[in-house]
Amino acid sequence: MLERLIHSLEASPVMKRGEYNYFIHPITDGVPLVEPALLREVGCAMVRNLDLEGVDKIVVCEAMGIHIGVAFSMMTDIPLVVVRKRSYCLPGEVAVHQTTGYSKGELYLNGVSAGDRVVIIDDVCSTGGTLRALISAIEQVGAEIADICVVIGRGDADIGRPLKTLVRIEVSEDRVRVVDTCL
């Protein structure tokens, strides 16, 4: 299981961003090429392992959660909410600050209401900054988080609740190594 994902991760180039070893991969960066078979493999693994009972919405963050969310939404027929990096000033919009291993910024949640039951999916969790911000926004509107899953786990981030991860990796200066498949 997850052979395409594991192979593609272990073949990923690594570059330095300051002191951060940044790996480049289709799931996390959209380059060099996002293969449908890879998205299907990831989506199928999420469908098998997420608690989808009574889920109203899938929540993903712009930009690299979008392609995963679209594939997952098409497989499950659950509507997709994209948390954006710019404000639309819609009624009920919630702004949250996120800090990751290499960036900071604002995220804006629209389309999730009190009483909604959602799953959060994302490409990678390194520091947990994006997921913590997103969890806070969803809780602020009064929605219930049924489950959370990321494709790639890197490091030991604590997001304050259970997190499902398809694969765990270590990144050195010159390579990515898959250390565990967590499902």
Name which residue leads in pLDDT, 33 or 17: 33
Token representation of residue 10: 């272990």
Is residue 48's pLDDT more than 80?
A: yes
How does pLDDT run across 57-68, given as a tens digit for each residue? 999 998 899 999
How does pLDDT run across 132-160, given as a tens digit for each residue? 999 999 999 999 999 999 999 998 889 99
Burial status of residue 142 (CB atoms within 10 A of its CB: 0-12, 13-18, 19 or more): exposed
Is residue 102's pLDDT more than 60?
A: no
Chain mean pLDDT for the chain: 93
The residue with tokens 């520091």 is: 127
Local confidence band at 124 (pLDDT 50, 70, 90 cut-offs): very high
pLDDT score of 101: 55
Measured CA to CA, the distance from residue 84 to residue 26 in angstroms comes to 20
